[in-house]
Amino acid sequence: MPEGHGWLDRARSRAAAFRERLAQARARRAAEYEEDVAPKPVAPARRPRPQAPAQAVPWGIRVAAEVGWRFLVLAASVWVLMRVISSVRLVVLAFVVALLVTALLQPTVARLHRSGLSRGLATVGTAVCGFVVLGLAGWFVVWQVLDNLPHLSGRLQEGIAELKQWLLDSPFHVTEQQINDIAEQLSDAIGTSSSKITSTGLQGVTVLLEVITGLLLVMFSTLFLLYDGRRIWRWTLLLVPAAARPAVADAGPRAWRTLTAYVRGTVVVALIDAVFIGVGIYFLGVPLAVPIAVVIFLASFVPLVGAVASGVLAVVVALVTQGVFTAFMTLLVVLAVQQIEGHVLQPFILGRAVRVHPLAVVLAVATGGLVAGIGGAVVAVPLVAVANTVIGSLRAYAGDDALEEDVDRAPPLVDGEREPGRERAERPGRPPPRPEDGA
């Protein structure tokens, strides 16, 4: 028995040792498997340094910088252009006014030339008649004002006396001593400003010389534009780069048609305003009715501001000469005519040719007045209308070219079929530019 138990113990010990070795082997294989499967720690890769410093700047900052320096260049260019225009504003203003007068007279010259008259005689006759009419209108206004000045001054004194009596009888408790104090302060202010008035008079002589020079420039420029406008337009096209010349040649006649429509429409609207307001204040017994009508006609060339200023002038003259009731009726006449003008005449006469937003009109008039005074305010709106037409024409021309390029790059379809855009691209589009449409 002892020998049997010894053999059994040895077998058990060997089996335990085998199991222990087997467990150790399994543990080693599991450890090796985990080492093979588990990801090994990898050091983070370093981003390569950009070759150029600009590549390290974020994209948004780069875009903002590109827009910023282009905006600065554009602002500097506009500033330099405004400085140049301000230094020679008399010449620029005279040329723009000559363009406006040419747009008004050119159809008459063309009609006379087609009837058999030579272009030179048609130009001279039309220009002389136009300037004579303008000169007679100015002379008539000055003559009427000087002729009615004594009566107007007497009525002014009577109106001041009536206003003084009304203030004394009003519930504002104004005393005569207060009114006399205000009158003395006004007289003292006029006395102390005598030197300024003298300097203003000297400046007035300079302004008069500038006005005469500007009128002469307008006359000569108008003559040459009426007679030789086609050649001037062709020469202007030669100054444009060849790549942009077709687009400019297409935009030029459109801009001229816009300017012509603006000038004709403005003249018709101003004439209707002057006639109806003049007739209204004439029947109300307001003196200087005809000169006021002429002033209303001229002031209508300054949109918004001119109508208000001329209406205020008519109401003030009616108030001073005829009293409160006549002034109130004059105000009603002016408001009625201006409302008809703004809502009926301008949309019907001007139409879509010179449609400009009211905000653009106000900003243009303000900018033109700051740069070149009253003359700048007169020519600002037609310039904005022409610029709007030119920009729209250039954009349309660029869009048509892009459409044709896209159609040319489009893949062909089945034989016998045509691309949808090919027909539009090959369809006769814009007519060739005609130089006679220009000035």
Task: Determine the pLDDT at residue 418.
Answer: 44
Instruction: Quote the CA–CA distance of 52 and 336 in Å, as a whole number.
Output: 69
Tracing tokens 């222990």 back to the chain, one arrives at 20
Q: What percent of the chain has pLDDT over 70?
A: 74
Is the pLDDT reported for residue 409 higher than 60? Answer: no
Burial class (CB in 10 A: 0-12, 13-18, 19+), 281: buried
Instruction: Quote the CA–CA distance of 420 and 407 in Å, as a whole number.
Output: 9
Q: Do 353 and 261 touch, CB atoms closer than 8 A?
A: yes
Task: Determine the pLDDT at residue 47.
Answer: 59
Backbone conformation region of residue 170, classed left if phi is above 0, alpha if psi is from -120 to 50, else beta: beta
Task: List, as one string, the DSSP characters of 90-104.
Answer: HHHHHHHHHHHHHHH
Is the pLDDT reported for residue 162 higher than 80? Answer: no
Query: pLDDT digits over 357-367, tens only?
Result: 777 877 888 88
Task: Determine the pLDDT at residue 432.
Answer: 47
**pTM (2 d.p.):** 0.64
The structural domains of the chain, with segments of one domain joined by +, span: 89-239, 245-408
Is the pLDDT reported for residue 72 higher than 90? Answer: yes
Confidence of residue 73 (pLDDT cuts 50, 70, 90): very high
- The mean pLDDT of 370-382, rounded to a whole number, is 78
Max mean pLDDT range (9-18, 198-207, 217-226, 311-320): 217-226
- The mean pLDDT of 178-189, rounded to a whole number, is 69
- Residue 313's identity, in one-letter code, is L
State which H helix or E strand residue 344 sits in: none
CA torsion through residues 374, 306, 297, 316, sign: negative
Token pair, residue 123, equals 């130009």
Task: Determine the pLDDT at residue 426.
Answer: 42
Candidates 355, 380, 356, 372; CA nearest to 305 is 380
Q: How many CB atoms lie within 10 A of CB 76?
A: 10
- Residue 84's identity, in one-letter code, is V
Is the pLDDT reported for residue 34 higher than 70? Answer: no
388-397 burial code (b ≥16 CB/10 A, e <16)? bbbeebbeeb
- What's CA 66's distance to the chain center, in Å? 26
Please give the residue that has the higher pLDDT: either 154 or 397. 397
Is the pLDDT reported for residue 106 higher than 90? Answer: no
- Show the 3-state SS of 191-255: HHCHHHHHHHHHHHHHHHHHHHHHHHHHHHHHHHHHHHHHHHHHHHHHCCCCCCHHHHHHHHHHH
Confidence of residue 76 (pLDDT cuts 50, 70, 90): very high
Query: pLDDT digits over 59-68, tens only?
Result: 888 888 888 9
Is the pLDDT reported for residue 303 higher than 90? Answer: no
Task: Determine the pLDDT at residue 306.
Answer: 79
